[in-house]
């Protein structure tokens, strides 16, 4: 079951943003319980405004980054890249071609070395 609409691989990619979100959330809770810098309404309001705004901005950024990752993964899943066959240099379309000469190679005049 996808969490927040993201697959497991996408959530793993977003872990780099989820960890700082947890750290910011921890400090919001810690400073709400134990006011380390005293209780001054102006400074406390500024302190919480900065922490909460950074938390919200990082949360929005993480969400849109997850959407971009999901979109990029879907785009790569839907577009098949055809690679040339290393033996023939042509694109393989999955259909076997039948050779009229039963796989025998034709010798060309270029293979012979000119005598000096």
Per residue in 12-27, pLDDT (tens digit) is 888 888 899 999 999 9
For residue 17, tell me if it sits in a domain: yes
User: From the centroid of its chain, how far is CA 18?
Assistant: 16
Per-residue pLDDT tens digits for 64-105: 888 888 888 777 766 655 566 666 666 655 555 555 555 555
Closest CA to 82 of 95, 96, 98, 94: 94
Q: How many domains does the chain have?
A: 1
Distance CA 116, CA 105 (A): 27
**Residue 66 domain boundaries:** 8-76
Query: Would the pTM of this model clear 0.85, i.e. be above it?
Result: no
Within a domain: 56:
yes
| Alpha-carbon distance values, 48 to 3, 4, 57, 66, 86 (Å) | 28, 26, 14, 27, 62
First-to-last C-alpha distance (Å) of the chain: 76
């Amino acid at each position: 079951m996808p969490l927040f609409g993201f697959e497991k691989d996408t959530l793993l990619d977003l872990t780099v943003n989820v960890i700082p979100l947890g750290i910011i959330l921890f400090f919001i809770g810690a400073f709400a319980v134990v006011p380390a810098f005293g209780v001054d309404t102006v400074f406390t309001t500024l302190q919480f405004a900065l922490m909460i705004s950074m938390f919200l901005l990082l949360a929005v950024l993480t969400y849109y980054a997850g959407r971009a990752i999901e979109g990029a993964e879907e785009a790569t899943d839907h577009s098949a890249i055809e690679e040339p066959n290393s033996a023939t240099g042509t694109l393989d379309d999955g259909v076997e071609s039948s050779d009229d000469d039963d796989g025998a190679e034709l010798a060309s005049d270029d293979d012979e070395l000119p005598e000096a």
